Structure 1
Amino acid sequence: MRRSSNQMGPGGVGLWVFKLQTGILILQGSSSSGHAETSKVSNMVEWTEFERATIQDIFSKMDYESVGHNALTRCLVVYPWTQRYFGKFGNLYNAAAIAGNPLVAAHGAVVLHGLDKAVKNMDNIKATYAELSVLHSEKLHVDPDNFRLLADCLTIVVASTLGSGFTAEVQAAFQKFLAVVTAALRKQYH
């Protein structure tokens, strides 16, 4: 993250602008009351040819059922509070029960197939996930931080699957992609 400018906001309030490699701007500063504030603003994401090719390559080789199952299992085990959204899945009492739960496996595959939509629409991920963002925000009431947790678990599973092929450059492209997807899913949250 790098600071790109220090600007004065309305009423002389300082506003720091940070630019992330993911194409998301983070605005941090203080309000007129002196309280720190942070907001995120998505802008058009620019993808390099390497990033596009890398994302396409990863997903073309991916076993959606296996990777999705392993990523969701890892998320539910490592971050047990995320289990509250899956009450209808039955037995989630321990790691073995979660890993052996067919509903966890099925939903993990659904998540990965959902990511495939972003792969096919990399220039318009925000619009691609507009309805899904509303669903998770307004109907399911999912804590938006959980998208990042699942993305982190997915990164670990993909890294273990690709082994030495998951270089720093590949990881950077993959995490940029997941950060853009996560930002799109958070879009409808207030």
Structure 2
Amino acid sequence: MVNWTKTEKATITDIFSHLDYDDIGPKALSRCLIVYPWTQRYFSGFGNLYNAAAIIGNAKVAEHGIKVLHGLDLGLKKMDNIEAAYADLSSLHSEKLHVDPDNFKLLSDCITIVLAAKLGSAFTAETQATFQKFLGAVMSALGKQYH
């Protein structure tokens, strides 16, 4: 269980209140697939992922990026019990999809990079620390079924 201060909860809530899912989601997943090409193996049904331009222009990648980013809403709504909130998704990713849990960290790093670029100077070191604490809690919860 993660302990959150009032300031941390307020920071996470503020980030999500300004989040442009349709922009950040596709960019983050595209970045992950381009920078870490081995992650593409989980998306074989998405069609052409042969180069950066194809990935960036792929509608299925964009759609899934938005879906993943909206998946973080669950953690926002249940910050005091993130582990339980992601129990079903943890089972899905481990038992059915067989996703390597290290990929959660790679994607979370890409989300952080894209968010930092979008927010600019508003994404202070303190904001980043809080956001990464949140993503770390989500990653831990998603990886729970693997343990």
What's the TM-score bracket when you normalise by the shorter of the two chains?
over 0.9
Match of 1:171 among 128, 135, 139: 128
SS of corresponding position for 1:133: helix
**What residue is the counterpart of 1:79 in the other structure?**
36
Deviations 1:15-63 (A, max 9, x none): xxxxxxxxxxxxxxxxxxxxxxxxxxxxx21101111011101111111
Aligned ranges for residues 115-134 of structure 1 at < 5 Å?
115-134=72-91
Q: Which amino acid aligns with 1:150?
A: L
**What residue is the counterpart of 2:146 in the other structure?**
189
Match of 1:99 among 34, 40, 56: 56
**Aligned pairs, number:** 147
CA distance in 1, matches of 2:20, 2:112: 14
**What residue is the counterpart of 2:8 in the other structure?**
51
**What residue is the counterpart of 2:47 in the other structure?**
90
CA distance in 2, matches of 1:46, 1:183: 14
Residue 155 of structure 1: CA displacement?
0.3
Aligned ranges for residues 24-35 of structure 1 at < 5 Å?
none
SS of corresponding position for 1:155: helix
* Unaligned ranges ≥5, structure 2: none
CA distance in 1, matches of 2:106, 2:130: 18
Deviations 1:92-137 (A, max 9, x none): 0000000000000000000011101111110010000000000000
Residue 168 of structure 1: CA displacement?
0.5
Deviations 1:154-187 (A, max 9, x none): 0000100100001010000000000000000000
Larger Rg: 1
Q: Which amino acid aligns with 2:40?
A: Q
Q: Which amino acid aligns with 2:37?
A: P
Question: Comparing both structures, which one devotes a greater share of its residues to helix?
Answer: 2
Query: Root-mean-square deviation (CA), in Å?
Result: 0.6
Question: Comparing both structures, which one devotes a greater share of its residues to strand?
Answer: 1
Q: Which amino acid aligns with 1:103?
A: K
* TM-score normalized by the length of structure 1: 0.77
Identity of aligned residues (%): 70
**What residue is the counterpart of 1:113 in the other structure?**
70
CA distance in 2, matches of 1:56, 1:112: 14
CA distance in 1, matches of 2:8, 2:50: 39
